[in-house]
Amino acid sequence: MASIKDVAARAGISVATVSRVLNNHPAVRPATRDRVLAAITELGYRPNGVARSLRTHQTHTLGLVISDVLNPFFTALARAVEDQARDQGYSVIIGNADEQPELQDHHVRSLLDRRIDGLLVSPTDDSSPLLAEVARSGVPVVFLDRWIPGVDVPVIRAAGSSAVHDLVAHLYGLGHRRIAIIAGPSNTTTGNERVIAFREALDSHGLAAPDRYQQHGDYQAASGRRAAARFLDLHDPPTAVFAADNLMALGAMDEIRHRGLRVPDDIALAAFDDIPWFLHTDPPLTAIAQPTGALGHAGVRALIDLLDGRATDSVTLPARLVPRRSCGESEMEHR
């Protein structure tokens, strides 16, 4: 593969000048620039990004570590991150942590070894010594969706609390009084937040929140299924279930159907995270929609601000309730 030296030789000029042309430095005579450009096309030369990175200490690459690529929420998030990064001239390397802290650490280390310019992370849990150290050591880091308390980096996330209140109000309005939650892992920030908002909302309607109406899952379908099974085995099963993410909602739906019960007639179901498929499930699922694209875009912007040394704040965007048929019929049905 041709190098800058070959181009220089071909154009009868020094490598320094070729480099100037490449980086469109102003001090190059137009005639020379043309000669260089000609040599470049003749040789099919493309600058070696590796060498460039070594010299400039920049890779124009961002690392994105997420918990589960197969979760449509994270897929959409990754897509948004990639789009925005490309717009700004950056590539993205995605690391899929699969909700495993060790795998997350593996990816963080591997990305740092590749000298990515900055890191976007949605941490698997709320304490990662490695991430804390990385952030402290000055590597530009931004948390996306989830974060780690005590680690001082910008956090880009959606505030679900008011939408959760709306959801509970919606359920209450449809007559539900025994409402259960399939929560996320209690060692994730999103896991906790959603539970807290949920309990507050119950409280504000004077509803009880007994322990047996709260199960913890791991954001995977199978755990949603197990949690639903526990609820349905109770002597006074809940009339409505709120799943803290889309995959657990799917699992719960699975279990409910498996028992020959119907949503919403026998039991209502709602989920955190809206995804296109929810329109097409049987019945369409009521969900809390996060502004996924905006989150990804804001995350990249924040990280690039950090890279460029600009001041960067955390961003919290609103989530909103999207009522469909899975909690019972209401007058305000949306498509």
Q: Which residues bind a copy of itself (CB under 8 A)?
A: 46-51, 53-54, 59, 61, 69-70, 72, 75-76, 78-79, 82, 91-94, 96, 109-110, 112-115, 221, 250, 253-254, 276-277, 279-283
Contact partner, 276, from DNA, a copy of itself, none, Cβ < 5-8 Å per class: a copy of itself
Which residue is associated with the tokens 């209690």?
A: 186
Which residue is associated with the tokens 């949605």?
A: 122
> Applying CB under 7 A, does 91 fall inside the site for DNA?
no
d(C-alpha 107, C-alpha 65), whole Å: 7
> Applying CB under 7 A, does 20 fall inside the site for DNA?
yes
Burial grade of 320 (CB within 10 A; 0-12, 13-18, 19 or more): middle
Pairing of strands 320-322, 286-289: antiparallel
Sign of the alpha-carbon dihedral angle for 203, 265, 268, 258: positive
Rounded to the nearest 10 degrees, how much is the dihedral formed by the CA atoms of 108, 112, 118, 119?
A: 0
First to last CA, the chain: 55
> Applying CB under 7 A, does 89 fall inside the site for DNA?
no
Smallest gap from residue 171 Cβ to DNA (A): 57
Complex with DNA: residue 1 or 311, whichever CB lies closer = 1
Smallest gap from residue 118 Cβ to DNA (A): 18
d(C-alpha 34, C-alpha 54), whole Å: 28
Smallest gap from residue 104 Cβ to a copy of itself (A): 13
> Applying CB under 7 A, does 22 fall inside the site for DNA?
yes
Contact partner, 235, from DNA, a copy of itself, none, Cβ < 5-8 Å per class: none
Among 24, 27, 129, 150, binds DNA (CB under 7 A): 27
> Applying CB under 7 A, does 196 fall inside the site for DNA?
no
